[in-house]
Structure 1
Amino acid sequence: MPRLALKSLPGLSLGALLAVSVLSSAQAQNANQSATDEIAKYRQMLADGNPAELWEMRGQELWQKKLGPNQQSLEQCDLGKGPGVTKGAYAELPRYFKDTNKVMDLEQRLMHCRMSLQGLTREQAVKTPFGSAGNPSDIEALVSFLTAESRGIKLAISTKHPAEKQAYEIGKKIFYYRAGSHDFSCASCHSVEGQRIRMQDLPNLNNKANAQAAYSTWPAYRVSQGEVRTMQHRLNDCFRQQRFPAPDYASDSITALTMFLAKSADGAVMNAPALKR
């Protein structure tokens, strides 16, 4: 029910007008809550058969498959816990890597391993970062598998190394940086309680519980897109909606922003790939 303009009902007393206004506001809130509840029920209904499992299986095959000019698998890729160790690795990313002397997130690190181990060029290593119908992404599949290897494990994001601390501070600045045609920042949508866009609740990422719930469920299978989407894709889409230029894939700025978001969600139990609308 739309909110009624007070001047449109001249026959009613001020008390009655106020009652109508309060009633319409309550009805709108109830409608919003009802929509939120229905979305939650829908997700729960599909949770036991999350299509992301197909991406996870394909990702595991790609991890073990010998590819590239060097005909090597990725099984010796060091994600931070030693060559080939996948269990719990995602829960500690982004992190500083001594061999590259930089902080890397999962997608950056995968790109590095595909080049250094398999001999791919950078162009080949980042080909099709985001899949579409009939054009699947190897990267999204690999990320799905590696993320699932941290399911049930708590995020433990380090900022002890100076490079990690620097990445966190840069990511924080990016989160609050306002620019573009709409003068938006990440914080414009994600630093206030109770904000919504259409039927979607916007989590306040300054609230630790909200930050944990949001971060720990990415990547996710997007029902509306029929694809698993990584954190890189999620952030790219946020920049698009802010009318910012699209960031380069696996750029240091995206890693820094991911570091800020991951650290804000520190201690959350990973539950990804999840299922989202």
Structure 2
Amino acid sequence: MRRTSMLLTGVAGLAATAFALAQDQGDEIAKYRELLADGNPAELWEMRGEELWKAKAGPRQVSLEACDLGKGPGVVKGAYAELPRYFKDTGKVMDLEQRLMHCRMTLQGLTAEQASATPFGSTGKPSDIEPLVAYITAQSRGVKMNVSTRHPQEKRAYEIGKQLFFYRGGSHDFACATCHSADKMRIRMQDLPNLTAKKDAQAAYTSWPAYRVSQGEVRTMQHRLNDCFRQQRFPEPMYASEAITALTMFLAANANGGVYNGPALKR
């Protein structure tokens, strides 16, 4: 009995030490990000995105400056903080990447395949979408998230997104909620935000898109969610799919009130 008690005490001590080490590591990562914040490489994507936004392109040789992201043609300031949202001209809820694809098709005359080509960049194969997203989202920096769920289609998208968040499946019987619906969860040295809690949702959502140091690229919300599905062993969703828009709506609305601070810097 005494030996069992000693073992339990030892295990508890090891757990406490491990937690303390992990906490220290987390603090160091936070300091690292803070030091690099003023030199975030995402700024290069933002500058290229502005050029792409204003450049005449596509079969019609038209810029994207007339693209309506929800606040009027060409208005980018604060637009991302209100996305996803219902768009009357399409009759559906759209997130930023879905709306950008729509504008590239309707304004510039690109096909769906052309408008969604190379959504995620890699070495020697840059993406036009990631810089455009970086530029647009940066124009909402300092703006509070204010995603509407008033329209029936917005409410519907939110509820579908919530169902997707909690849906379990795949070879590991995982869901988004497996890692992101409880407080103080970790995987290895990585903190896992509770995306059902307002404070965590605000902190997490408002930092994407982000420059990933490990990948040397700016990664959009679509890429982040696709990667989560991959880790759950789910099939990768189609780019700009309704499912991803719905899941984004759930996460974005949960982050309402948080101050947008992207594109951020991630490991």
User: TM-score scaled by structure 1?
Assistant: 0.94
- Please, which of 184, 189, 194 is the counterpart of residue 199 of structure 1? 189
Matching residue of 1:9 = none
Task: Look up the SS of the partner of 1:66 in the other structure.
Answer: coil
Q: 1:24 Cα shift?
A: 1.5
In 2, Cα distance between equivalents of 1:142 and 1:211: 24
Gap change, CA 1:87 and 1:25, over 3 Å in 2: same
Q: 1:207 Cα shift?
A: 1.2
- The 10-residue stretch of structure 1 (19-28 or 260-269) with the greater mean CA deviation from structure 2: 19-28
Q: 1:206 Cα shift?
A: 1.4
Matching residue of 2:166 = 176
Q: 1:18 Cα shift?
A: 4.1
- The 10-residue stretch of structure 1 (21-30 or 129-138) with the greater mean CA deviation from structure 2: 21-30
- Please, which of 246, 260, 263 is the counterpart of residue 253 of structure 2? 263
Matching residue of 1:239 = 229
Structure 2: stretches of 5+ with no match in the other structure: none
Matching residue of 2:63 = 73
Identity %, equivalent residues: 72
Matching residue of 1:32 = 22
In 1, Cα distance between equivalents of 2:7 and 2:90: 67
Aligned residue pairs, count: 267
Matching residue of 2:115 = 125
* 2:153 equivalent to 1:151: no
* Deviation per residue, 1:59-117 (Å, 9 max, x gap): 00000000000000000000000000010000000000000000000000000000000
Q: 1:134 Cα shift?
A: 1.4
In 2, Cα distance between equivalents of 1:115 and 1:232: 19
In 2, Cα distance between equivalents of 1:68 and 1:185: 39
| AA of the residue aligned to 2:180 | H
Task: Look up the SS of the partner of 2:140 in the other structure.
Answer: coil
* Deviation per residue, 1:108-154 (Å, 9 max, x gap): 00000000000001111001000011111100000000000000000
Task: Look up the SS of the partner of 1:44 in the other structure.
Answer: helix
Q: 1:22 Cα shift?
A: 2.8
In 2, Cα distance between equivalents of 1:158 and 1:100: 17
- Please identify the structure whose Cα radius of gyration is greater: 1
* 2:257 equivalent to 1:276: no
In 1, Cα distance between equivalents of 2:7 and 2:173: 37
Residue pairs, 1:194-233, within 5 angstroms: 194-233=184-223
| AA of the residue aligned to 2:145 | L
Matching residue of 2:37 = 47
In 2, Cα distance between equivalents of 1:14 and 1:65: 71
- Please, which of 35, 41, 61 is the counterpart of residue 51 of structure 2? 61
Gap change, CA 1:108 and 1:34, over 3 Å in 2: same
- The 10-residue stretch of structure 1 (189-198 or 142-151) with the greater mean CA deviation from structure 2: 189-198
Structure 1: stretches of 5+ with no match in the other structure: 1-5, 7-11
* Deviation per residue, 1:160-205 (Å, 9 max, x gap): 1110010000000000000111111100000011111121110011
Task: Look up the SS of the partner of 2:93 in the other structure.
Answer: strand
In 2, Cα distance between equivalents of 1:127 and 1:47: 30
In 1, Cα distance between equivalents of 2:161 and 2:209: 19
Matching residue of 1:3 = none
* 2:113 equivalent to 1:136: no
| AA of the residue aligned to 1:221 | Y
